[in-house]
Amino acid sequence: MPSQALTLKIATLAPAGTSWMKEMKKGAKAIKSKTNGRVKIKFYPGGVMGNDKSVHRKIRINQLQGGAFSPSGMAHVDNSIQTYSLPMVFNSFDEVDYVRTRMDDKIKQKMADNGFVILGITEGGFARIMSTQPINTMEEIRNSKVWIPEGDILVEQTFKTMGINPIPLPIADVFTGLQTGLIDTITATSTGAIAFQWHTKVSYMVDTPVLYLIGILAVNKKTFDKIKPQDQQIVLEEMNKVFDNLDSLNRKDNINATQALPNQGIKMITPSDDQIKIWKSLSTQSITSMVDSEIMDSDLVNELQQYLDEFRKQQP
């Protein structure tokens, strides 16, 4: 296959002007400069290219070469990408850092084996339950109209194990769903809730992280393989810098956003220790069920747990 200059057209839901888009554009500028224009990246922000399904269809016909996805948007390629999003596995950012430094490369390799080059994995942060009514118990969650991202099999399986019947909607419909009362409970990061203005439609936030979220920038491997090897190296190096920077920016933004939400009128709820035990026990059951039904890769789930055990034993 002859090497050639090319433009990678990449879709993202991130609105123009966000930290994500600013950093992406910086990376694209550096790549264009260092490859002397042989590789250019053009971003389509704000969901103009449609939802994950539309983006994947456009990648298949080469109208796009890549996209920024949530793990659920890439799970049909390989379920390993959802390993970090298992419910209530992480207790702290320190645990996340310990695991990710040991597992990111393995997950990237699995995706490459299935046709996608991951240019970066970025921290979305810890997602919490937000609602229009107070949520203190599992029973109250079960009686709520709970949103899940459309097509997110992992979250759907988790909720069904917990006896919750979720309402799947595309991210673009969540605001309207909250406004009309179609849904009244969401799970989101603080920055996500503010960026999409969902925080203006909820009144309560449960101060317990339930999921760790990531964002992925992925391009079609067949297209990436057309880039000269030394230019591939430049793309990966520059994108690594972008994603290292995004990880620290996003973490800071999330911590600040979580602290800011009470000033926006959001009331914080701290469930009892007994309730947390129930939630964690049900989360563990849902993980076992996902491994048994092969929704999740048992080897990766076990590896994640081993690293967490290893890290926790080292703590005083």
Q: Which domains does the chain have, with CATH numbers?
A: 6-314 (3.40.190.170)
Q: Is the pLDDT of residue 206 over 60?
A: yes
Mean pLDDT, all residues of the chain:
93
User: Which tokens is 35 given?
Assistant: 């490859």
Contacts of 10 (CB under 8 A, 6+ apart): 41, 42, 43, 44, 64, 65, 66, 67, 68, 217, 219
Across 12-81, where does the E strand assignment appear?
39-44, 66-69
The DSSP result for 44-59, as a single string, is E-TTTT-SHHHHHHHH
pTM listed for this prediction: 0.88
Confidence at 18, pLDDT banded by 50, 70, 90: confident
Q: Which residue has the higher pLDDT, 314 or 153?
A: 314
Q: How buried is residue 277: exposed, middle or buried, by Cβ count under 10 Å (0-12/13-18/19+)?
A: exposed
pLDDT in tens, 19-54: 889 999 999 999 999 999 999 999 999 889 998 889
Report the number of secondary-structure helices (H) and strands (E) in the chain. 11, 10
What does the pLDDT read at residue 113? Answer: 97
Half-sphere exposure of 282 (CA within 13 A, CB side): 20
**What is the pLDDT, as a whole number, of residue 3?**
47
3-state SS, residue 268: strand
| 156: β partners | none
Q: In angstroms, rounded to a whole number, what is the distance separating the alpha carbons of residues 112 and 44?
A: 23
CB-CB contact of 144 with 155 (8 Å): no
Tokens 């090497």 correspond to what residue?
3
Banded pLDDT at 1 (limits 50, 70, 90): very low
* Residue 278 three-state SS: helix
46 sits in the region (left: phi over 0; alpha: psi -120 to 50; else beta) called left
**202 contact partners, CB below 8 Å, separation of at least 6:** 130, 131, 132, 178, 186, 193, 266
Q: Give Cα 88 to chain centroid, integer Å.
A: 15
Residue appearing with tokens 């005083």: 316
